[in-house]
Amino acid sequence: MKNYIHGRWTKSHSSDKLNVTDPGTQEKLWEVPLGNRDDVDSAVKSAFGAADIWRNTPATARIQYLFKLKGLLEDNREEISRVCTMECGKTLAESRAEMQRAIENVEVACGIPVLMQSEFSEDIAVGIDEFIIRQPVGVSACIAPFNFPIMIPFWFLPYAIACGNTYIVKPSEKVPKTMQMLFELIDQLDLPEGVVNLVHGGREAVDSILDHPNIKAVSFVGSSKVARYVYERAARNGKRVQAQGGAKNPVLVLPDSDMEITTKIINDSVYGCAGQRCLAASTIIPVGDHKRVFTEAIVEAAKTRVTGYGLEAQTEMGALISRESKARTEHLIQKGLDDGATMLLDGRKAKISGYEKGNYVKPTILENVNPDGDLNRTEIFGPVMGIIHVNNIEDAIKLVNENNYGNAACIFTSNGSYARKFRNEANAGNIGINIGIAAPMAFFPFSGWNDSFFGDLHGQGKHAVEFFTQTKVVIERWPKEWTRKF
């Protein structure tokens, strides 16, 4: 596997390599180089060199490359989705869906000429006008997680380049081939050399990005611990940073919600992508007196979900990314039991016929989870639902707001005033009302609060335009008497 620097596939300067394995079989797929400072430096040199040409290319011309990219993404959807499934473990349908989200972000970024429009005030004083212009920030970079290898870099990349920045992508070393394939499409765009670059790697590549004086803006998505580290280190180095972290998303279920639809949606939210989604529901909080009805319905829904290899047509839930991830999930389940929870559905010791070595955990449900225990306090990132019953909506919202994270919070109800109260009072950046995965469309910012986000401006939509541009206020005087007659 190679880096893509200055419009060419380039061998890494590093001899360190990592084996990439298929999470569903544990078989080795390929090797990825763990890029070093020299690799990042080459990418930055190239991006820095291309910055002037690119920012002086009119926005209307820049977006023509994105129109072409949209077509290439659509034409290659299937092939890239297959590779994504192989290295990430998710189902093919899930890979296709994230491909769709990536395409939608390209589409929104095609609107940059409008989104970057300036604000203008004429005659703020006699003969004086004032206006704002937006200019690119310069070389920018993104550091991505494993769980959405296609979609997440596209929360940033299309906006960055449409706004006139040059760009570097550092994908997760666990799923590098998917981004390599996307760069094979980018290579076909005939962009000026250096506008977009790819550097494979892990920690050294990240630190080199965070320290490089010529990188002006960094977008990060990953676990909260690393997000905080990235935020602090990049900010200390004077960069603009947006760092999206982990999550622990609560879902309230009120007795007036439609139990059949609600349990189906919650089931998809908890177990989609095997729980490895930053918006996945994790703690379910039934409110009031419908304990039995809810728990029986949700166990029935979860039991029927077919766990298996991602490329098999019948599979509804794939494997966890690694052995460590599986062990960690099972450890947290045990901690939950030790802290007093009751097991309603045990997905440990999952054996998938033909894929015995894969990192599978089947849907798991624990009831009466200790709110202060590790299972409720820690991001699991696995197919585990913890249920905590409460008596009223005030207690439920209190529980939501005791959570250190704040990525998403959802409520299921048919009562508008409860929904409104929740929307106002829940401390989370993405709110779902009768929605299980509160994922904003590409023209809305992907929000997130507390330990789920460090920074100000989020990815996607107008926030991305703000993040990737800096404003200049121009105050201009043209006295009438300077108008010469010809």
| Catalytic residue positions, numbered | 278
Task: Compute the least distance from the CB of residue 96 to ligand NAD, in Å.
Answer: 18
Q: Which of residues 269-308 bind ligand NAD (CB under 6 A)?
A: 278
- Using Cβ positions, the residue closest to ligand NAD within the complex turns out to be 222
Q: How many CB atoms lie within 10 A of CB 108?
A: 22
> For 213, which DSSP code?
T
Distance CA 380, CA 341 (A): 16
Q: Which of residues 342-401 bind ligand NAD (CB under 6 A)?
A: 379, 381
Instruction: Give the residue among 255, 79, 297 at the shortest CA–CA distance from 182.
Output: 79
The amino acid at residue 321 is I
Cβ-Cβ contacts under 8 Å for 114 (sequence gap 6 or more):
none
Select from 150, 206, 385, 411 the one that contacts ligand NAD (CB under 6 A). 206
322 binds ligand NAD (CB under 6 A): no
Stretch that binds ligand NAD, among 166-174, 188-196, 302-310, 420-428 (CB under 6 A): 166-174
Structure-derived torsion over alpha carbons of residues 302, 306, 309, 314, reported in degrees to the nearest 10? -140
Ordered alpha helix ranges (H), 240-290: 259-271
Q: Which of residues 97-156 bind ligand NAD (CB under 6 A)?
A: 143-148, 152
DSSP per residue, 3-60: EEETTEEE--S---EEEEE-TTT--EEEEEE---HHHHHHHHHHHHHHHHHHHTS-HH
43 binds ligand NAD (CB under 6 A): no
Q: Specify whether the CB–CB gap between 289 and 159 falls below 8 A.
A: no
Instruction: Give the residue among 174, 173, 171 at the shortest CA–CA distance from 183.
Output: 171
Ordered alpha helix ranges (H), 238-322: 259-271, 291-303
Task: Compute the least distance from the CB of residue 42 to ligand NAD, in Å.
Answer: 19
Task: Compute the least distance from the CB of residue 204 to ligand NAD, in Å.
Answer: 9
Q: 3-state DSSP: the chain helix, strand, coil percent, rounded to 5? A: 40, 20, 40
Distance CA 77, CA 236 (A): 39
CA distances from 232 to 153, 207, 211, 237, 481 (A): 21, 12, 11, 9, 53
Select from 223, 404, 415, 470 the one that contacts ligand NAD (CB under 6 A). 223
Stretch that binds ligand NAD, among 49-57, 106-114, 170-178, 347-355 (CB under 6 A): 170-178
222 binds ligand NAD (CB under 6 A): yes
Select from 109, 115, 162, 221 the one that contacts ligand NAD (CB under 6 A). 221
Distance CA 310, CA 308 (A): 6
Task: Compute the least distance from the CB of residue 464 to ligand NAD, in Å.
Answer: 13
Select from 7, 23, 149, 246 the one that contacts ligand NAD (CB under 6 A). 246
Q: Which of residues 435-454 bind ligand NAD (CB under 6 A)?
A: 446, 448, 452
Question: Whose Cβ is closer to ligand NAD: residue 173's or residue 367's?
Answer: 173
203 binds ligand NAD (CB under 6 A): yes
Number of residues that bind ligand NAD (CB under 6 A): 28
Question: Whose Cβ is closer to ligand NAD: residue 65's or residue 446's?
Answer: 446
Task: Compute the least distance from the CB of residue 279 to ligand NAD, in Å.
Answer: 8
Task: Compute the least distance from the CB of residue 112 to ligand NAD, in Å.
Answer: 22
Stretch that binds ligand NAD, among 111-119, 192-200, 243-251, 310-318 (CB under 6 A): 243-251
Select from 85, 180, 244, 376 the one that contacts ligand NAD (CB under 6 A). 244
Question: Whose Cβ is closer to ligand NAD: residue 59's or residue 241's?
Answer: 241
Sign, CA torsion 131/137/143/144: positive
Ordered alpha helix ranges (H), 163-222: 176-187, 203-211
28 binds ligand NAD (CB under 6 A): no
Task: Compute the least distance from the CB of residue 482 to ligand NAD, in Å.
Answer: 53
Q: Which of residues 400-439 bind ligand NAD (CB under 6 A)?
A: 407
**H or E segment to which residue 162 belongs:** helix 157-162
Question: Whose Cβ is closer to ligand NAD: residue 218's or residue 388's?
Answer: 218
Give 172's Cβ-side CA count (13 Å radius). Answer: 23
Question: By the criterion CB under 6 A, which residues form the site for ligand NAD?
Answer: 143-148, 152, 170, 172-173, 202-203, 206, 221-223, 226, 244-247, 278, 379, 381, 407, 446, 448, 452
